[in-house]
Amino acid sequence: KNQVEQSPQSLIILEGKNCTLQCNYTVSPFSNLRWYKQDTGRGPVSLTIMTFSENTKSNGRYTATLDADTKQSSLHITASQLSDSASYICVVRLPNTGNQFYFGTGTSLTVIP
Amino acid sequence: DSGVTQTPKHLITATGQRVTLRCSPRSGDLSVYWYQQSLDQGLQFLIQYYNGEERAKGNILERFSAQQFPDLHSELNLSSLELGDSALYFCASRGDRGDYGYTFGSGTRLTVV
């Protein structure tokens, strides 16, 4: 079983609408949790990073939240744009390790005009 | 341009063949990570190098190997290729300061026919 599960697998929304992507994890404790945006044919780009003790982090129209009790994180996208069409990947890093990360399989978001 | 350069961008080869993927990390980054991304498995960590030395191994097959050279560029060698090796192969580099985030290259799309 994957230690980081994302939902939905895919999502189609109208331009201008808001949406929320979910990430459920079993890794605990962890060092930090990141959301990446991956455009088709390109490498992932970091959007937000939150430590275990943080609840929310914003980056423009992207806001990530973290609930350590329920082991859930969400990425909220406000006023979506066509350029938001991409895959969004949740990544959890284990503490005290330089290189152990767990990747979710991503949510594919399509924004249509 | 993320600063991480991968070549080639596309590669088509036959089963049983051997290929070499190349990665130049972002200037100053000593760590290089290789990932395989397939539709059903998402991003899978393969191997990490730090300043020329192997640091960690993930789900890397014995048919695959990698190395990091003194100039810090890295190569991923894939041999005895099978159809199932068709995937996107990403390289990422990471610095030793800041938020320790990955910077990904644009990937090499390998198609084995």
Q: What is the pLDDT of residue A76?
A: 98
Q: What is the pLDDT of residue B62?
A: 95
Question: What are the φ and ψ backbone dihedral angles of A83, each rounded to 5 degrees?
Answer: -70, -10
Interface residues on A facing B, Cβ-Cβ cutoff 8 A: 34, 41-46, 49, 89, 98-101, 103-106
pLDDT tens string A3-18:
899 999 999 999 999 9
Size of interface A-B (CB pairs under 8 A): 49
Tell me if A59 sits within 8 A of A4, measured CB to CB: no
Q: What is the pLDDT of residue A45?
A: 87
Tell me if B105 sits within 8 A of B2, measured CB to CB: yes
Q: Which residue of A has its CA nearest to B48?
A: A99
d(CA B50, CA B17): 28
Exposure string for B69-88, b = 16+ CB within 10 A, e = fewer: eeebebbbebeebeeebbbb
Picking from B42, B48, B107, the nearest residue to A99 by CB comes out as: B48
pLDDT tens string A15-56:
999 999 999 999 878 888 999 998 887 888 889 989 888 899
If you count them, how many residues does chain B have?
113
Checking if the pLDDT of A1 tops 70, the result is no
Any residues with CB less than 8 A from the CB of A60 and at least 6 apart, and which?
none
Checking if the pLDDT of B99 tops 90, the result is no
pLDDT tens string B26-48:
988 998 999 998 866 678 889 98
Residues of B in contact with A45 (CB under 8 A): 2, 104
Whole-angstrom CA distances from B29 to A19, A23, A47, B24 are 35, 29, 20, 10
Q: What is the pLDDT of residue A6?
A: 94
CB contact under 8 A, A43 and B104: yes
Q: What is the pLDDT of residue A40?
A: 81
Q: What is the pLDDT of residue A97?
A: 58
Percent of chain B predicted with pLDDT > 70: 92
Mean pLDDT, chain B, integer: 90
Q: What is the mean pLDDT of residues B18-30?
A: 94
Tell me if A51 sits within 8 A of A31, measured CB to CB: yes
Checking if the pLDDT of B89 tops 90, the result is yes
Question: What are the φ and ψ backbone dihedral angles of B84, each rounded to 5 degrees?
Answer: -70, -10
pLDDT tens string A71-111:
999 999 999 999 999 999 999 887 765 566 788 888 999 99
